[in-house]
A and B are shown apart, each in its own frame.
Chain A
């Protein structure tokens, strides 16, 4: 497996190998799916749209809908305006969404299609009460996380309104996480008794159940009136600086809704901070049910510490989730030996560094933004780790080096049920520890001498 990867490090400037990121539009498509009765639309050639739908379907094992402008060579020369208008007419008549959320690709961005103007010109074919919005998502900038962020920002730009009728709600932008994660965050807010708007919210859309009939627009997703009402909220919490901050900042700018950026509530400290922030903003107290979950988590951390303490971990994936995971790993007494995201951005390295410095382990760890899995593998070949935490793409390294992989983040395309399960909240942290200890104990059961085989562990 991966036999061509040499141990000797080699500094690459141009050749990207086995990336730890993908391109913007898929993130925008995912964000748009979090709006109720919204059809994502890809303004480019149709290959992108097919690929993005495929990858999301493979992750969620559920239908993922989106339309495309289906550029031809001619459209590249004359612009994609007429493709877009034809698409808008067809989409509203045939598929009847309430809103079309357009994103772009490297094609329409390179030729410089002016979507604002195209959409303005299309208004006559947009049915009463329906909307067309757009985000610019050039694939040659940032990553899929950037695309998510750009679409969230665009949703705010087009739709959020401050009508000066305060709703006393907290806006939550959950970031690029699974519906299981979003459900868990909503559960915490409900237990706290805090009125909130979760936006975008893919729960009930990409994890819809089996009923025997197909709903093109499932029950889930943030309702349009709630999207608009985000402008009347008293505060916005952006979970994850990379995926959520831009949207929250736009709400602040456009509707004067103050904001805070928090790390994604993955791991004990991040969840503590999340709850403390919400309580301070709303004068609520943490109820017993949540407190009990936390006591269980700490109980578990102490019960299982002998298997985790000092274990070295390589973590790769998207910046916001990797930052939180790094912090959690540290709080378990583990060493986040290598930390990689494919997404560019200086703030990743800054935030990771702060965690490592605080723990006094910066010297022993390597971290990199805009890195890739080829380089991560080379690091591991030079000094191995005990656990890998990453997406499905890490399974090659896992097999090549015989290191257990904890599947975490996006995408996980080779396992089932994960999108139902949270990694957020104390419940999610409990689940992560279960995955960690199961992997380590399975390994011990498999590898130990027969006379060392244990009944109780």
Chain B
């Protein structure tokens, strides 16, 4: 396999070969520590799949909060491309008697023009906020910076502070210019910092009448994923205070410090908040996986172990049994139809790991996986964090240090008990993708177009799960391909029911009769039979 990798990269110029080689490993359990290079700058011209800091901040973390007006400060493109394209579903929720708000269908921008670049755009931004207030009177506003904003020196923080005073609502400024960091990842970090500094902890709602208060962190409700997970959690008896940030609401997020446990689904995008919530408020976090039947069941059991309540544990087992029974037949059906196949998984910063369990449920083996923008800890596990050297490209992303919040800090579980629990459930820890990957499988960071095409040709997977920019390439090569960012406009894929949706969609992709027609009949059947026979006879 190692030779295959070297051969695949042969075409690269020497310098590029050297750079890219560090980002590819072959899983080998004999080798105790398998280092992978990650979260480094993209090689120019390599045809990366990566996006930018703005996409990670506004597009991923901030944008799904439904009851805020998200103003993108920049030329029109950035807001336009993030308009309705990431399927973070949301519905307005009533608060008491007042109708809830939902701005998800809208796209707001300051639509900067040449004069704004020359003379600065602060004036226009202020006016845009005023217009948003007069038109919508929202509870809160976000301002997201785009590339030119940092360059021309617009002070969006000052504008936000002034607007807060003037209108008496929260105005959150995010300095998420596209060139910051090396990928979407920097944007996650910037968004996390802001939520810890200015949002979480501001709420005063009392949850003392409720048991088992939790938050779901790093779950963006793509295609309704969070709703499906919450359906099961509610059935067991949990009370979800806030989801960050799928179908999210600013009011709920303000109260997130009231939870007893944080569930971390997407480690990459939200681990900063999870960690800081622990330091500041004492809330432990649990690495969960809602994707895949076994994985989700395990997550539910881990949660029960954490809360250590007899009734909750019994309820957990009952609900798991009930849910499994409901889908049993379908699991069997799809396993028969899909098993024995191989897959490539290339998604942003978390799904390439999470979906391996789901695929294996149906007998599909992942032979190549990778992340666009994950860090070494997402590949190798959090134990490598102390050894990650910060590099020049990411050093300007603030490493926020938080203090214990004396008023709101709680000891939820005694330190001794916590240490005990850590031995049985993934509390405050994440083991990463490599440990769970099949032996001999290839793991690639920042997989580019050349490598995609080359490895498809070499390894000939039966299916390829990636994003919109890749799927039609794979399809043209005759490989069934599905999007695991947008779920090809289907979903949910999380939870028990989601697993079946996923299997159904994959099954459709594999079994559609259309594949049979790729080669025209005249390419395989001789057209003039008589002539061929004559030639044979004359030989």
Contact = CB atoms under 8 A, between A and B. Distances in A.
Contacts of A374: 106
A388 B447 CA distance: 42
B344 to A, nearest CB: 15
Contacts of A89: 13, 45
Contacts of A215: 476
Among the interface residues B48, B85, B150, B476, which one has the most CB atoms of the partner chain A within 10 A?
Answer: B476
A313 B111 CA distance: 27
B147 A15 contact: no
Interface in A43-61: 44-48, 50-55, 57-58, 61
B322 interface: no
B21 interface: no
Given A47-B54, A57-B469, A67-B47, A93 B105 contact: no
Chain A CB count within 10 A is highest, among B47, B396, B519, for: B47
- Which residue of B80, B107, B112, B478 has the most chain A CB atoms within 10 A of its CB atom? B80
A76 B132 contact: no
A124 interface: no
A172 interface: no
A19 to B, nearest CB: 5
Contacts of A110: 117, 147-148, 151-152
A44 B55 CA distance: 15
A27 B80 CA distance: 14
Contacts of B519: 212
Interface in B209-227: none
A446 to B, nearest CB: 24
Given A44-B147, A72-B41, A140-B112, A15 B77 contact: no
Interface stretch (B30-38, B120-128, B236-244, B282-290): B120-128
Contacts of A162: none
Q: Among A83, A110, A141, A216, which residue has the most Cβ atoms of chain B within 10 A?
A: A110
Interface in B288-330: none
B267 interface: no
A72 B125 contact: no
Contacts of A51: 51, 55, 77-78, 81
A4 B148 contact: no
Interface in A64-88: 64-76, 83-84, 86-88
B178 A48 contact: yes
Given A46-B50, A54-B468, A55-B81, A91 B45 contact: yes
B179 A72 contact: yes
Contacts of B392: 74
Contacts of B151: 76, 107, 110-111
Interface in B469-520: 469, 472-473, 475-478, 518-519
B290 to A, nearest CB: 26
Most buried by A among B45, B101, B106, B472: B45
Contacts of A48: 52, 77, 178
A19 B111 contact: yes
A50 B76 contact: no
Interface string A1-44: 11110100010111111110111011000000000000001001
B134 interface: yes
Contact of B518 (A4, A68, A212): A212
B127 A16 contact: no
B131 interface: yes
Contacts of B181: 72-73
A172 to B, nearest CB: 28
Interface in B434-482: 449-450, 453, 468-469, 472-473, 475-478
Interface string B102-142: 11011111111110110000001111101110111000000
A18 B79 CA distance: 9
Interface in B45-63: 45-55
Interface in A347-374: 374
Nearest to B485: A54
Contact of B113 (A54, A68, A141): A141
B134 A1 contact: no
Contacts of A288: none
Contacts, number: 252
A287 to B, nearest CB: 31
B450 A95 contact: yes
Interface string B65-94: 000000100111111110111000000100
Nearest to B109: A16
A63 interface: yes
Contact of A93 (B13, B92, B477): B13
Contact of B148 (A75, A106, A208): A106
Interface in A195-222: 208, 210-216
B182 A57 contact: no
Residue of A21, A50, A65, A374 with most partner-chain B CB within 10 A: A50
Contacts of B55: 47, 50-51
A72 B45 contact: no
Interface string B168-181: 00000000001111
A285 interface: no
Nearest to B99: A3
A105 interface: yes
B383 interface: no
Contacts of A111: 151
B43 interface: yes
A120 interface: no
A4 B106 contact: yes
Contacts of A25: 77
Contacts of B468: 54, 57-58
Contacts of A26: 77
Contacts of A93: 11-13, 16
Contacts of B449: 65, 95
Contact of B46 (A67, A84, A393): A67
Interface centre among A1, A45, A211 (most CB of B within 10 A): A45
B335 interface: no
B44 interface: yes
Contact of B131 (A14, A68, A70, A84): A14
B113 A50 contact: no
B79 A19 contact: yes
B46 A4 contact: no
Interface in A125-146: 138-141, 143
Given A18-B106, A63-B472, A90-B16, A143 B43 contact: no
Contact of B47 (A65, A88, A211): A65
B45 A88 contact: yes
Given A15-B110, A88-B45, A140-B75, A106 B128 contact: no
B419 interface: no
A16 B110 contact: yes
Contacts of A64: 469
B342 interface: no
B394 to A, nearest CB: 9
B524 to A, nearest CB: 12
Given A95-B450, A213-B477, A214-B453, A140 B472 contact: no
Contact of B475 (A23, A50, A68, A210): A210
B74 A70 contact: no
A396 interface: yes
A54 B111 contact: no
30 contacts: A2-B105, A4-B136, A14-B110, A14-B128, A15-B108, A15-B109, A16-B109, A18-B83, A19-B107, A25-B77, A41-B45, A47-B78, A48-B52, A54-B85, A58-B85, A63-B469, A65-B47, A68-B45, A70-B44, A73-B179, A74-B392, A74-B393, A91-B45, A94-B46, A111-B151, A140-B113, A212-B518, A214-B477, A374-B106, A393-B84
Nearest first, the 6 A-B pairs at minimum CB distance are A47-B52, A87-B45, A23-B77, A14-B127, A16-B111, A90-B45
Given A72-B182, A93-B11, 16 more contacts: A3-B92, A10-B134, A19-B79, A41-B45, A47-B178, A50-B469, A57-B472, A70-B42, A72-B181, A75-B179, A89-B13, A93-B12, A94-B450, A110-B152, A214-B476, A214-B477
